[in-house]
Structure 1
Amino acid sequence: MQLCRQTLSRVQDTVLLPEFDPAQLRPGIVHLGCGNFHRAHQVAATQAAIGAMGREGLGWGIVSATMRKPDLAQALGQQDNLYALLTRGPRKTAATVMASITDTVFARAKDAALAERIADPQTRIVTLTVTASGYYLTAQGRLDARAEAIRADLTAPRPRTALGILARGLALVRKRGGVPPVILCCDNLSENGQTLRQAVMDFASLRGNDALAEWIGVHVQFPDSMVDRIVPTPNATDRDDARRLLGGLSDVAPVSAEPWFQWVIGRFEGDRPRWEAHSGTRFVPDVGVFERAKLQMLNGTHMLLAYAGALAGLDTVAAAASDSAVGALAARFMRLEQVADVALDEAELDEYAVELMRRFRNPSIAHKVERVGRNGSAKLVARVLRPMRANLEAGAEVAGAHLLVACWIRWFILHERGALRFAPADPRSETLVRLCATWRGDHQGLVGAILAREDMAGPALPAHETQVAAIAALLDRFENMPAPAVLAELARQS
């Protein structure tokens, strides 16, 4: 028997159920990017909001769109869009049935009609989790007009990218004289609201509609936001645990998450769900300090754990963070380097760093290193090279940044040789593999060629050749010694 509205009454009483009738929900939010993170984060906060608002909250259901594949939309549709959220603490797992999604669609399906849904007067908010690479930005944070998907969307009768869908939907709102929805980016981009606004305006201008671009800039709100929750890829254990906790009901789309939850949202005008009913959600006048702390201290350190952990033969972030060498290097990198320009006092930084390492070591969260390390070329500037630049300008330490970049490049060196146990996912993977082949045996030349590319590394770093030499020296060590030995030696020296 499968989880759905008709079987909700069969769920055992140890599971938290929605405080409303899912059949009475009406859509008020359109979400682009119905993935695991969205289902463990925005959906959870919206469910708490609806429950706290009573009948007034029933107009805040979510139409959630998968962007690349129809599988999840089809699976959720079979279950009336219900699924189990498994909150995994170090010693206990709790289950909650999520029910705030009213409809799931595949963005590329003919009947998805996402632009029309965005233009519907009942849609007051559009949220997005399409990953950093889904915005097709340059290292400078502007729309990459040369990206193949963007070029295709400029002339396509039905857009496929999030930017194309947003531009089409907002064009309909403007044409009909309606009130535009608030557009809320929930991806790990620097100044994500402002960045998304500019990207949508750029897209509209590329389509020859400067008037629409100007209207978007004046009339559409794009508040910044910062999201934080570790959500690993679902696996067979999740399905087994969901069945057990649900009392025998099968769930083909459960999702796991750590207990930690944070959502910091820039204040905006207009109706919205009472998201702050979910602990960890807050509205603030300036998201910047929270965003920078999270991007650098959490996401940047996550990257080091992924790249170094994989080289050390460790499969998960928890294993990497618990490793004596990798964990020590990551903790030092986070606290000494990744705090650059983070406007928190020393006590707050200490507390946050300790809490992050504790979260990383949670053995119940099996966050695969190859997944955390994906799309590194799209993340490197904001999460690593920006604080590295600040540290160089201040004469502070950058050894951890050197190591992170070296480990990232080492992935592609091994991949080019067929010696990495997985294929790293990256929008510039072909370019990186080609550079590794061209500069095989010459690490100085390889690092120089990669860091010279502004689309991946941004402008040249201070004392640029010194940084190239330091990273190349680390690659020489990885070439001549087993990775665990190199990392252990570096940990002893730090």
Structure 2
Amino acid sequence: MYLSRKTLPHLPQNVYHPKFDLSQLTPGILHLGCGNFHRAHQAVATQAAINREGPDGLKWGIVSATMRRPDLVNQLRPQDNLYTLLTRVEDRTVASVIGSIHEMVFSGDEAVDLSERVADPRIRIVSLTVTASGYYLTADGRLDPEAQAIQQDLSAPHPRTAIGILANGLALVKQRGAVPPVILCCDNVSHNGATLRQAVMDYASLRGDDRLAAWIGEAVQFPDTMVDRIAPSSHVDDVADAKHALGGIVDAAPVSAEPWFQWIIGSFDGSRPYWEAHPGTKFVQDVAVFEAAKLQMLNGSHMLLAYTGALAGLNTIAEAASDPSLGRITARFMRDEQTASIALSAEELDDYTQALMVRFQNPGIVHDAERVGRNGSAKMADRVMRAMRDNLVAGRSVSGASLLIASWIRWFALNDQDALELSLTDPKAKILQRICAEARDDHKAQAEAFLAMEEVFGPPLPDHDRIVAEIAGLLRRLTEEDVPSVLRELAA
């Protein structure tokens, strides 16, 4: 038997499942980017809200769109869009069946017009998890008008990017004189609500519709948010573990996650689910301090663990964080460098650092370095460079940031030489590989060429030449020496 509405009554009693009538669910939320994170985060909080609100909550069903491939749609539709969340701690796994997704669609399906879905008057919230690279931003946070996907959308009848879908959908809302939905960005982008608003306005202007751009800026709410939960890519054990937990019922698309859950949302007007029913969800007036702490301390440190760990043969975050040398380097980087300009007390920063390292070391979460390391060029500005600049201006060490950048460059150099076992996914991969090929044996030239990419790193750093030399020196050592030995020395 496969997981479905019909098999719900056959679940073991210890499996959490929806407490509402799934047949009565109606669409109220459109979500762009239905991946593992969305299914382990927003969909879970939405189910808690529907459960808490009872019949009044049934209007918050999610229409969830996959943006790249139809695979998940094809897996979940036969299961009535039900799936298992496997919450993994060190010594056990807790299974929950999630039923808040009302409908699954694929954006590439010719019969699906997501812009019309944005304009559907039943949709009161449009949320997004399309990753940082899905916004096609330059280093200064504006829409890149030269991005190929954006150019294609501008000439296509049905856009495929989230930015194009939102702009076209909001144009329909304006044209019909309707109330626009609230747009809720749930990606790790600095000031994500305001940044998304500007990107959609930029797209509208590229369409030649400055009036639409102005209306979006004035009439549409784009609250900032901060999301935090580690939900790794699907693992071969997930299906077997779900079947065991469900008493023999098969789930073709379970998702794993850590116990930690946090969702900080900027307050906005209008109806919404009672998301606070899920512990860790909070509405606040200012998301900025939570966002900065998460982007820099968690996401920036994740990048260091992924890039440097993989070079040392540590291919999961748990392995890398548990390594005595790299774990010590990462904790020091997180607390001493990545806390720059974060308005929390020393005690709060200490506690958050300790909690993050414990989370990173959780062996129940198989978070691959390859996945964490994707799209580094789109992440570097918010997660690494902002704190690095602050530290350089203040005269503080940036040794961890330099190691991170050197390790990232080494990934491209190894990939150019067909010596990297991990696949390399990055919107600027071809350019960065070419740099490594042209300066294959010149580490200083590689460091200079990478840092010269202002669309990734921003303008020249304070004390730029010294930092280039520092990164080049680390790059040489990562190339010529045994990486674990280098890390032991750096951790001392």
Does residue 27 (structure 1) correspond to residue 32 (structure 2)? The answer is no
AA partner of residue 238 (structure 1)? D
Match of 2:381 in 1: 381
* Pairing of 1:213-292 with structure 2 (within 5 A): 213-292=213-292
Match of 1:130 in 2: 130
Contact 2:235–2:366, Cα closer than 8 Å, also in 1: no
**d(CA) in 2 for partners of 1:185, 1:135:** 10
* Pairing of 1:60-79 with structure 2 (within 5 A): 60-79=60-79
Does residue 52 (structure 1) correspond to residue 86 (structure 2)? The answer is no
SS in 1 for 2:175: helix
SS in 2 for 1:104: strand
Does residue 473 (structure 1) correspond to residue 473 (structure 2)? The answer is yes
Match of 1:9 in 2: 9
Match of 1:428 in 2: 428
Contact 2:385–2:457, Cα closer than 8 Å, also in 1: yes
SS in 1 for 2:137: coil
AA partner of residue 326 (structure 2)? V
Match of 2:393 in 1: 393
The CA deviation at 1:92 is: 1.1
RMSD: 0.6
Match of 1:82 in 2: 82
Match of 1:146 in 2: 146
Match of 1:188 in 2: 188
SS in 1 for 2:85: strand
Match of 1:156 in 2: 156
Q: Where does structure 1 differ by over 2 angstroms across 4 or more consecutive aligned residues?
A: none
SS in 2 for 1:51: helix
- 1:220-253 Cα offsets, whole Å, 9 max, x none, are 0000000000001112211001001011110001
AA partner of residue 100 (structure 2)? S
Match of 1:323 in 2: 323
Match of 2:356 in 1: 356
The CA deviation at 1:110 is: 1.6
Contact 2:239–2:251, Cα closer than 8 Å, also in 1: yes
How many residue pairs get matched?
Answer: 492
**d(CA) in 1 for partners of 2:438, 2:236:** 41
Contact 2:341–2:387, Cα closer than 8 Å, also in 1: yes
Match of 2:212 in 1: 212
SS in 1 for 2:54: helix
**d(CA) in 2 for partners of 1:23, 1:239:** 26
The CA deviation at 1:113 is: 2.0
Q: Bigger CA drift: 61-70 or 114-123?
A: 114-123
Contact 2:113–2:158, Cα closer than 8 Å, also in 1: no
Does residue 111 (structure 1) correspond to residue 117 (structure 2)? The answer is no
Scaled by the length of structure 1, what TM-score is found? 0.99
AA partner of residue 39 (structure 1)? R
**d(CA) in 1 for partners of 2:423, 2:285:** 42
AA partner of residue 56 (structure 2)? E
**d(CA) in 1 for partners of 2:59, 2:297:** 37
The CA deviation at 1:319 is: 0.3
AA partner of residue 448 (structure 2)? G
Match of 2:43 in 1: 43
SS in 2 for 1:5: coil
Segments of 5+ residues of structure 1 without an aligned counterpart are none
SS in 2 for 1:404: helix
AA partner of residue 335 (structure 2)? R
The CA deviation at 1:417 is: 0.8
AA partner of residue 97 (structure 2)? V
The CA deviation at 1:423 is: 2.1
Match of 1:179 in 2: 179
SS in 2 for 1:461: coil
Percent identity over the alignment is 62
SS in 1 for 2:184: strand
AA partner of residue 457 (structure 2)? A
SS in 1 for 2:30: strand
**d(CA) in 2 for partners of 1:231, 1:238:** 12
Match of 1:121 in 2: 121
Match of 1:299 in 2: 299
- 1:407-459 Cα offsets, whole Å, 9 max, x none, are 11111111111111122111111111000011111111111111011111111
Match of 1:341 in 2: 341
The CA deviation at 1:479 is: 2.0
- 1:127-150 Cα offsets, whole Å, 9 max, x none, are 000000000000111000000000
Segments of 5+ residues of structure 2 without an aligned counterpart are none
